[in-house]
Structures are given as structure tokens and as C-alpha cells.
Amino acid sequence: MGEAKRRKHLLGEGYGQTSFIRIKGDRQFEEHFEKYCVAWEQKLKTIMDSMDPEIEPSPAEMQAQDQDFQHWLTNYLQDYRPQDRERLVGEMLDSLYEQMQDFEEEDDSDQLQENVTNWVVDVITLFTLLKPHLSVQQQQDYAQPLLELYEIMRDDVEEGDVKAQQALEEMFAVFWVCLGQKNKLAFDIPD
């Protein structure tokens, strides 16, 4: 691969862009990450404000909002060098993955199950949104704990508990689509 093609492959949307925001050092990264989080929250607030809380959005509306958010995210990150984009996006997932350690301290099994379920939904949603901006290695690193958790949760579901099996499959359905694969670990659920 020639040098120009290699650069185009690495830079993607930013190919041909002559200058990028360069993040130097941890302090400067923290400043940019804080700005990124504030902009993220403002964009989500704008999307939420545009929705009627009384009416459940249709799948088409949800897809349009997702595309709008993806477009915003791509535009926001395009001014950063690829490695800085990956670091900003990865930091957001890192903070969510750190919450896993808090689960070990929970004594109430019902509360633990609720916390884990909510966490899984949050991580899968965030992973799906951020996947296009992660390196291949980051995608694998962030997907692996979810795959392991899925297997643990699958093993904990009692044999014959079709409702629990279906609920688990539905929760992870977005994750399988995001990984670009059909669920290899699927249960044999009768129709």
C-alpha cells in the first residue's frame, strides 16, 4: 500500500485535512475530554428535548435520532488526530467499565442483578454508538468482557426458563448486530 493510501486508510474522514487538534499530555487530555463530555450531554439533551415524552418514538424516529447523533459525533471528532479520537472515545467506555468493580461490593442479589442488567444495557448502547470511532484493538478489548458476561449470565439462567433466556437474548441482540455477527452463543429457544 502506498503512503497516500495508507494515510487515507488511517485518517478516514480526515484524509486531506492539513491540521488536527493535537492533545499533548494528560492535563490537556482531561480538558478536551471534559469539553467532549459536555458537548455529548448537550447533544443528548437536544435530542431528548425534541422528543415528546408522552409518546414512544417509532423505530424510524429512533433510527433518525441515532443517525443524527452519529453524524454529530463524527463531525465533533474529525478535528482530532485518529489516536486522540480513539483515546477520547475509549475514555468514555473506560469510565463505564470501571463500574464493574462496584458490583463485587453489592450484597443484595436482586439489586446486583438489576445493577448488572442496567450496566449491560448502558455499555451495549454506548459501545454501539462509539464502535465506528474505536480502533480494531479497542473494539476487541471492549467486546471481550461483554462476551464473558454474556456467557456467565447464560450459564446462570435455569434450564427451561424460556422467558429468562429470551430476555437475555433480547438484551444482547443489539450487541450481536454491533459486532456484525449472528449470535453464535444463542440458546435453542422454541418458537
For residue range 68-94, what is the model confidence (pLDDT) as tens digits?
A: 999 999 999 998 989 999 999 999 999
Same domain, 72 and 84: no
Same domain, 100 and 186: yes
Range(s) of the domain holding residue 85: 80-191
Same domain, 58 and 85: no
> Percentage helix, strand, coil, to 5, in the chain?
75, 0, 25
For residue range 174-191, what is the model confidence (pLDDT) as tens digits?
A: 677 666 655 444 433 333
Same domain, 87 and 34: no
pLDDT at 173: 76
- How far apart are alpha carbons 169 and 171 in whole angstroms? 5
CB 146 within 8 Å of CB 120: yes
For residue range 86-119, what is the model confidence (pLDDT) as tens digits?
A: 999 999 999 888 888 787 777 787 888 788 888 8
Same domain, 64 and 107: no
Its pTM stands at 0.72
| Residue 129 forms part of a structural domain | yes
Mean pLDDT across 129-155: 86
Same domain, 68 and 93: no
